[in-house]
């Protein structure tokens, strides 16, 4: 079975996954502007490459990898999803890939997918495989940077990799807590407003670059899958090459 390279180009970084069938062999993330490692993966070389991008200006390094040109997904590249929103072409391919990835893991159940990256997205899929829309808000780092850029004295620092405890003892610590605890509250509040009332109980998924740090604040009903977007890209690719 030929190896497939799935490429997820986000606003801050790019995540790549090497798949054999539905099995993920290797995964790695690169910040934009970072040099591509050689070799890209230890496992082997890919025969096909399929990507989803929300940052076209960052696609350049990934147009051809290992001599294999990348096929980029569009909103019309997801025939397994019924996109039931007024303007399907305006929905980000990352959101559609998340929805399709979740659908592969929860057929006939429906899914709510929360992706915590530069932005936070909440997306709902029905048990029949319909993308029903969702919500979009600022991610933790974006909120942190916006506070710094929009004020004269609030500092810009690094967000911790784990949720902090107790009150902040400095301005920086107070910012970190406000941003991260606020994001935790947003994850839960927006999700509950989407879910109530619904005629079905979807499985809940969490993915994205900052998702693991916020996972302890959520209930055990959430399934964390850092490769969910990549799985959706692979499922769409299977239809492309069917």
Catalytic positions are 94
- Sort 127 into a burial class: Cβ within 10 Å, 0-12 / 13-18 / 19+: middle
d(CA 138, CA 28): 24
CA–CA distance from 119 to each of 71, 85, 168, 170, 187 (Å)? Answer: 25, 20, 25, 26, 12
- The 3-state secondary structure of 12-41 reads CEEEEEEEECCEEEEEEEEECCCCCCCCCC
Half-sphere exposure of 212 (CA within 13 A, CB side): 6
């Amino acid at each position: 079975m030929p190896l497939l390279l799935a490429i997820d180009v986000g606003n801050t970084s790019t995540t790549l996954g090497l798949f054999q069938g539905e099995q993920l062999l290797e995964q790695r993330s690169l910040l934009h502007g970072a040099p591509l490692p050689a070799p890209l993966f230890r496992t082997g070389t890919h025969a096909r490459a399929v990507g989803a991008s929300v940052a076209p200006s960052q696609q350049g390094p990934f147009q051809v990898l290992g001599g294999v040109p990348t096929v980029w997904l569009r909103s019309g590249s997801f025939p397994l999803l019924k996109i039931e929103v007024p303007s399907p072409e305006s929905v980000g391919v990352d959101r559609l890939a998340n929805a399709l990835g979740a659908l592969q893991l929860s057929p006939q159940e429906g899914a709510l997918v929360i992706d915590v990256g530069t932005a936070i997205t909440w997306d709902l899929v029905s048990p029949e495989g319909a993308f029903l829309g969702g919500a979009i808000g600022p991610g933790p780092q974006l909120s942190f940077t916006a506070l710094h850029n929009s004020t004269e004295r609030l500092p810009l620092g690094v967000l911790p990799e784990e949720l902090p405890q107790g009150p902040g003892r400095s301005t920086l610590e107070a910012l970190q807590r406000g941003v991260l605890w606020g994001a935790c509250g947003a994850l839960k509040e927006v999700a509950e407003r989407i879910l109530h009332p619904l005629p079905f109980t979807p499985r809940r998924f969490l993915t994205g670059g900052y998702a693991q740090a916020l996972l302890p604040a959520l209930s055990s009903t959430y399934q964390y899958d850092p490769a969910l977007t990549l799985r959706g890209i692979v499922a769409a690719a299977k239809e492309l090459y069917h």
